[in-house]
Amino acid sequence: MRFDTKIGIVVRADLAAWQRLNVTAFLAGAVAGGVPGMIGEPYADASGNEYLPMFRQPVLVYVGDVDELRGVREKALGRGMDVAVYIEEMFKTGHDADNRAAVRAVEAPDLALVGVAVHGPKNAVDKTLKGLALHP
């Protein structure tokens, strides 16, 4: 199946493996919770067990350095795409309100980005993420 939109997540390559996974999970949750219609129907197995619904389309995960993450954020915002950010300070917080406060305390050019998620028209996302490597 082909989709007219795309979800891309970029994590900073120099993070520890647990941090890359954590950032990816949080950013995926941002897209799921912030973009209407991204989640499909619930799952069920033949035994009658029910499971939570998931994204209705694939999520591609890329790696980049801090400058590449800044470029992705700027391009995506400039194209009017849905954007989520994860910054270094969020590794030190304990809950959502503190995460929002950490982001709110920093001017956009000074954000210590460790991850960025983007969602938008497929062509715009492709242009925004052009040149980045897929996460190994």
Q: What is the residue extent of each domain of the chain?
A: 5-134
Three-state DSSP at 81 gives coil
Average pLDDT score over the chain = 95
Q: What is the pLDDT of residues 7-53, one digit of tens each?
A: 999 999 999 999 999 999 999 999 999 999 999 999 999 999 999 99
The secondary structure of 15-52, three-state, reads CCHHHHHHHHHHHHHHHHHHCCCCECCCEECCCCCEEC
Give pLDDT, residue 125.
Answer: 96
The CA distance from 8 to 75, in Å, is 13
CATH superfamily of 5-134: Bit1 (3.40.1490.10)
